Amino acid sequence: MPDRRSHLALKDLTAEALTGLLQRPARSLLTMLGTVIGTASLVAILGFTATSAGQISARFSVLGATEVTVEDAAARTRTTDPVLSFPADADARVEALNGVVAAGRYWKVPLPQGTSVSARALPTPRDTRPLDVYAASPGALRAAHASVVTGTLLDPFHERGEQVALLGSAAAAQLGITRLDAQPAVFVGNQAYTVIGIVGTPERLPQLALGVVIPTETAKARYGLPSPDDPARMLVETALGSAPLIASQLPLALRPDNPSALSATAPPDPRSLRDSVTGDVDSLLVLLAGLSLVIGAVGIANTTLVSVMERRPEIGLRRALGARRHHIAAQFIRRVRGAGPGGRSGGGEPGRAHGAGGGTDQGLDGRPATRGGLPGPADRRRCRVARGRLPGPARGLHRAGDRAAGLTAPPRGHQGRSR
């Protein structure tokens, strides 16, 4: 007995998928756009990952590995009278050590309650600004890599108690001071300080960009010693590779009589820190890239689902005419792969439809067919009525079903085989 099993050739499968794409060009274009955006996001984020990793590596190699901070540990133990454990010649002692590039002390000046900062001698409430005042030695500014916008930096001459000040670039903008040819002054309370320079944001100590900087000796004479809650510190810039050794020598070099009064903090191993931070950033950005791909995949899946739901009558008709499940699946998979350039270029050839046996033994309405498993006259009439309501590709498959029923000769690609 001849075995009339349906077969779907590769060229017919491709033609069906291409026709499905061209029938709804807007939907196909949106599906392609979703895939392109997802792939482009992945490539862009991976490129950004490599760039950020390089920037992080360079920054930790240059700044993190050459910075040592010394804190006044004894000042934190005092709850009443403030102390300053750094000697007066602290900068000179530290800069005499081999491997030190620059070093200097700094702290936040403890201003009396209600002290305002303004560019006017008799300011109104609208003229005052909530700016901090810092005391810094010339060595601290060099170690912080403070760049001069206009004017000059502090030097040892100003450490004699001169009433001068530097303004950070952000603080100068708030106070409305942009030029120094008129010798402007900044008023901290009722005390005037001549502005000798405006500095940009330092690579270290960026808080100085939003504050007023005065000499350390001037700060001690006018406002006293630093507060125990915010003690004095020393910033030390070292040569590359010298930071751990310098950190071990600083307390003894500054206070040979009481090294425990000062606490030196060496930077962590730059290689392990760099690898740790770079790994965390890479993981985060790769996660974002994966999220972009998931969003694109969900968009394609949603479009495919809607397409399948809209073509349920056609799928039912195909099944009634002998199409197997893998024929239907192969058609939609081919369509999705054609709409996704990234998936198509990355994947291999689509799965081929294999010929399998068995025409259907059910009619369109689920009743048993007549004539030895072939559709009966009533079923064929229903098929002809439904054929006019289907798109061109479905009509072609419908005609192929008629030929399989023995009405006409079967075309190439939809032939029955005998075992």
Angle in degrees, 0-180, between the axes of helices 25-62 and 10-23, rounded to the nearest 10: 90
Range picked from 10-24, 309-323, 371-385 for highest mean pLDDT: 309-323
**pLDDT digit string (tens) for 209-227?**
999 999 999 999 999 999 8
Dump pLDDT digits (tens) for 159-198.
Answer: 999 999 999 999 999 999 988 988 999 999 889 999 999 9
pLDDT at 134: 96
More confident residue, 133 or 406: 133
pLDDT of residue 154: 94
End-to-end Cα, the chain, rounded Å: 9
- List, as one string, the DSSP characters of 269-317: PHHHHHHHHHHHHHHHHHHHHHHHHHHHHHHHHHHHHHHHHHTHHHHHH
Tokens representing 210 are 């939003």
DSSP string over 109-155: --PPTT--EESSSS--TTT-B--EEEEE-HHHHHHTTPPEEEE----
pLDDT higher at 46 or 1: 46
Q: Is the pLDDT of residue 85 over 80?
A: yes
Scanning the structure block, which residue is given the tokens 């599906």?
A: 31
- Give the C-alpha separation, 260 to 72, whole Å: 9
**H-helix or E-strand spanning residue 48:** helix 25-62
Could you tell me which residue, 349 or 143, shows the higher pLDDT? 143
For the ranges 9-18, 46-55, 81-90, 408-417, the lowest mean pLDDT is seen at: 408-417
% of residues, the chain, pLDDT over 70? 61
Return all residues near 146 (Cβ < 8 A) that are at least 6 apart: 153, 199, 200, 202, 205, 208
14: exposed, middle or buried (C-beta count within 10 Å: 0-12, 13-18, 19+)? middle
Q: Are 87 and 255 in contact (CB under 8 A)?
A: yes
The 8-class DSSP code of residue 157 comes to G
Q: What share of the chain is helix, strand, coil (3-state, %, to 5)?
A: 50, 15, 35
pLDDT at 115 over 70: yes
Tell me how far apart the alpha carbons of residues 303 and 296 are, in angstroms, rounded to a whole number.
Answer: 11
- Asked whether residue 369 carries a pLDDT value surpassing 50, the answer given is no
Across the range 386-413, mean pLDDT stands at 42
- The mean pLDDT value for 65-73 works out to 90
Longest dimension (CA), the chain: 116
Q: Is residue 269 scored above 90 in pLDDT?
A: no
pLDDT recorded at residue 220: 93
The predicted structure's pLDDT at residue 393:
39
At 309, list the tokens: 């739901």
Say how far apart CA 193 and CA 184 lie, in whole Å. Answer: 9
What's the pTM value of the predicted model, to 2 decimals? Answer: 0.55
- By DSSP bridging, strand 262-265 and strand 164-168 are unpaired
For residue 99, the SS3 value is coil
**If you average pLDDT over every residue of the chain, what do you get?**
74
Q: Which of 52-66, 122-136, 321-335 has the lowest mean pLDDT?
A: 52-66
Tokens standing for 71?
């804190």
Output the pLDDT for position 376. 47
**Tens of pLDDT along 99-108?**
999 999 999 9
